[in-house]
Chain A
């Protein structure tokens, strides 16, 4: 896979994560599920990158691989994940011994999971969750306990707009779903990680709570210097919180660029399909369209471009040859043979309307 474009702009920023040609497969009875296929990207230390795509496009697998929490049946077949730690060292995440990996997790890279409803130990108070995390990272951070721990936990909880006095004493079941999700984010901040991964952070929450979580994340983004990776099928979340967006399809990145570029000037038909499928709350009546067909079987992938069976632009070339990521604009790449046609059609269709919608979302 070629070097991803749009990675290193601006000076004075430091790279925290470099992923190259990553291949992850799950071995099943039916065969190898190719969940991630040749993914490459870079992340700077104040960057915010969103992976969007349908369920089963390999987004979550990608997220899990960054903290090496893949299920037993999954294995990294190829590629490299290099993490630049705060102390300036380089960690090859595909090759870590257990203890180094344990110390790396949460200290360097924290992850807030999709199902935060059940992410907290039901028999432990919230305070003990903070204490546990601090204690087991004491080698790196020095012991944080007693009043210092309470102060730090209070600080983290205030950042996510929770009442620390009440929450620290509570058991998980005494908190609402949104509060638990915020506790998880606060817990993620405890050790000042360099990267925070959020896997569907608002799924399974009601609209108002989603709103509150997005606000919290937005404030965190503005006030803190750490990189964020979102994994979501929620385009509005990506639009609000990400600097860059990577559209994933069948385990690979099919379009990558700045959020404005990807959302206002998409050049891959799959991105176009995703944008067309988003309803708008206000404004004139608009025809919603879904992408015909369903995501491909990751065991038995179609030939050529994996999107061609569902693509209105598909030609013989698409059926035979998988397109590489082509630079379609400065800092924007798309893996489509017909990106120019996709682009001109989009602009002709009145990109403005979409632009407005994206703003509203």
Chain B
């Protein structure tokens, strides 16, 4: 019976995720068509101004390129779009002719996932750990210093944090060679499961990761500090002491385990924020991930790529949230039953 509940919770959660993806895909479709000066006009205008071709020949070029009947009713275009989407066809890039969008997106996606994923894992575990120390040593000097640092870093927007890192660490103090760190890999490094590759990947991702960590760690520290403080006042902690449990066991299984639940729920929100922020951060460090692709495609008005990146980012955020939710239901047994009705 318990299994059935868990399964139905998972099932309901999956349905919810799918519906969200569908709504997002539809919104992206209509949003792009609602933008003033659609992709075709933009392309034609571009040809006319940049290459001095006549308006008529530019129009012909555009029509053949898009190979989509732009005069067809919107609902027909929409259905075709959805149909293609189900088959995993996101169209072709306008700039790099003939290259499927899905191929572009999939080749850049791992870098974004890698940098954001490791950054969130690092910042969450370090932040939660520091938050707990702050609560255990509350009102101490360490607590005050960390609290102020925490609220300071979380008050600075991540792109400004990125610029500060570039200016100070890269340019003024010259601690790292900021130009050599561009891109996601050094030239000549072959992907593979070896130390050189992993080391190089980390080297190139280190500044984006540092930025994401600094941008999010304050939240974990402060939330964890607060929730640890209130958990310390819980009866089951006092009772655990009365039961003569060892201090370390109480700190981990009783205080830490329960206090980590509130920051963990914030993880879902943060995933979306960090994904959104990655657009500017990747551009700033010239880190070749999805954000970098999106930035370029906006510059070049490469609509299919833009659309594809949007879709994949939202899908990733939804998947990450789904994962976080499922993990949460493992962490907090009360949720599992709550999902029944």
Contact = CB atoms under 8 A, between A and B. Distances in A.
Q: Do A and B bind each other?
A: yes
Interface of A: 67, 69, 102-107, 110-111, 113, 115-124, 132-133, 136-137, 171, 173-174, 184, 187
21 contacts: A69-B241, A102-B244, A103-B244, A110-B242, A113-B238, A113-B239, A118-B235, A118-B236, A121-B253, A121-B254, A121-B258, A123-B257, A123-B333, A132-B240, A132-B245, A136-B245, A136-B246, A171-B333, A173-B337, A174-B337, A184-B239
A120 B333 CA distance: 13
B334 interface: yes
Interface residues of B, number: 23
Contacts of B234: 118
Given A121-B254, A122-B332, A137-B244, 5 more contacts: A110-B243, A121-B257, A123-B257, A136-B244, A171-B333
B249 interface: yes
B62 interface: no
Contacts of B146: none
Contacts of A118: 234-236
Contacts of A184: 239
A133 B334 contact: no
Report the 7 A-B pairs with minimum CB-CB distance, sorted nearest first: A105-B244, A118-B235, A106-B244, A119-B239, A171-B333, A106-B243, A136-B245
B235 A113 contact: yes
B334 A122 contact: yes
B243 A123 contact: no
Contacts of A104: 244
Interface of B: 234-236, 238-247, 249, 253-254, 257-258, 331-334, 337
A118 B258 CA distance: 13
A132 B244 contact: no
A201 to B, nearest CB: 13
Contacts of A106: 242-244
A136 B258 contact: no
Contact of A132 (B247, B249, B333, B337): B249
Contacts of B235: 113, 115-119
A122 B234 CA distance: 11
A136 B247 CA distance: 10
Nearest to A140: B244
A123 B258 contact: yes
Nearest to A121: B236
A309 to B, nearest CB: 34
A136 B238 CA distance: 16
B332 A123 contact: yes
Contacts of B332: 122-123
B238 A124 contact: no
Contacts of B254: 121
A105 B241 contact: yes
B243 to A, nearest CB: 5
B242 A111 contact: yes
Given A113-B235, A118-B235, A132-B249, A105 B243 contact: yes
Contact of B244 (A107, A123, A173): A107
Contacts of A187: 243
Contacts of B242: 67, 69, 105-106, 110-111, 113
A69 B243 CA distance: 11
Contacts of B246: 102, 136
Given A115-B235, A136-B246, A121 B240 contact: yes
B245 A123 contact: no
Contacts of B249: 132, 136
A171 B332 CA distance: 10
Contacts of B337: 173-174
A192 to B, nearest CB: 14
Contacts of B238: 69, 113
A38 B257 CA distance: 41
B253 A124 contact: yes
A344 B333 CA distance: 61
A331 B233 CA distance: 41
Contacts of A173: 333-334, 337
Nearest to A104: B244
A104 B242 CA distance: 9
A137 B242 CA distance: 12
Contacts of B243: 105-106, 110, 132-133, 136, 187
A122 B244 contact: no
A173 B340 CA distance: 14
Nearest to B255: A121
B136 to A, nearest CB: 13
Contacts of A123: 257-258, 331-333
A119 to B, nearest CB: 4
Counting chain B CB atoms within 10 Å of each CB, the highest count among A111, A132, A187 belongs to: A132
A240 to B, nearest CB: 25
Nearest to A101: B244
A277 to B, nearest CB: 29
B245 A133 contact: yes
A118 B103 CA distance: 54
Contacts of A124: 253
Nearest to B233: A71
Given A171-B334, A173-B337, A174-B337, A122 B236 contact: yes
Contacts of A102: 244-247
A116 B337 CA distance: 22
B321 to A, nearest CB: 21
Nearest to A172: B236
Contacts of B239: 113, 119-120, 184
Contacts of A107: 244
- Give the residue among B240, B242, B253, B333 with the most A Cβ atoms within 10 A: B242
A123 B333 CA distance: 6
A54 B320 CA distance: 54
Contact of A119 (B236, B244, B253): B236
B137 to A, nearest CB: 14
Contacts of B236: 118-122
A17 to B, nearest CB: 16
